[in-house]
Amino acid sequence: MTTSTKRYQIADFSEIKGVPCPCGTARRAFLGIDEFPGTIHVTEISANAKKHYHKTLTETYYFLDCGPDAKMELDDEIIPVRSGVSIVIPPGVRHRAIGRMKVLIVVLPEFDPADEWLD
């Protein structure tokens, strides 16, 4: 067991293994960090992202890279998005990304895979 006296955490997303999610592939960081009540994800959105929702999680999407036709579906409303845009998605909002994109997602509280509900 390694003991560290550092009071900070670093995540190198290039070293974090991607895992499948309803949106595509997510790289998740900072799970189980007492000082941070959430997690940070870098997610590559696939062309066939599935509409889903969360009962307890709030997600904040920040669009890093997306094509000119990128959109989000939020409770059946489709809105265009572009790099530099951010959206807060509270619990219960059914959502999916439309088009390929790369998104930074801040999840509060800490991500729980049991709180992904597909329609």
Stretch (H or E) spanning 73: strand 71-74
| pTM recorded for the entire structure | 0.91
Torsion of CA 88, 50, 79, 41, to 10 degrees: 40
CA 55, 35, 87, 14 torsion-angle sign: negative
Question: What tens-digit pLDDT sequence spans the chain (119 residues)?
Answer: 444 578 899 999 999 999 999 999 999 999 999 899 999 999 999 888 999 999 999 999 999 999 999 999 999 999 999 999 999 999 999 999 999 999 999 999 999 999 999 97
For the chain, which domains are there? 18-118 (2.60.120.10)
* Token pair 């997610």: residue: 43
Tokens of 37: 């009540």
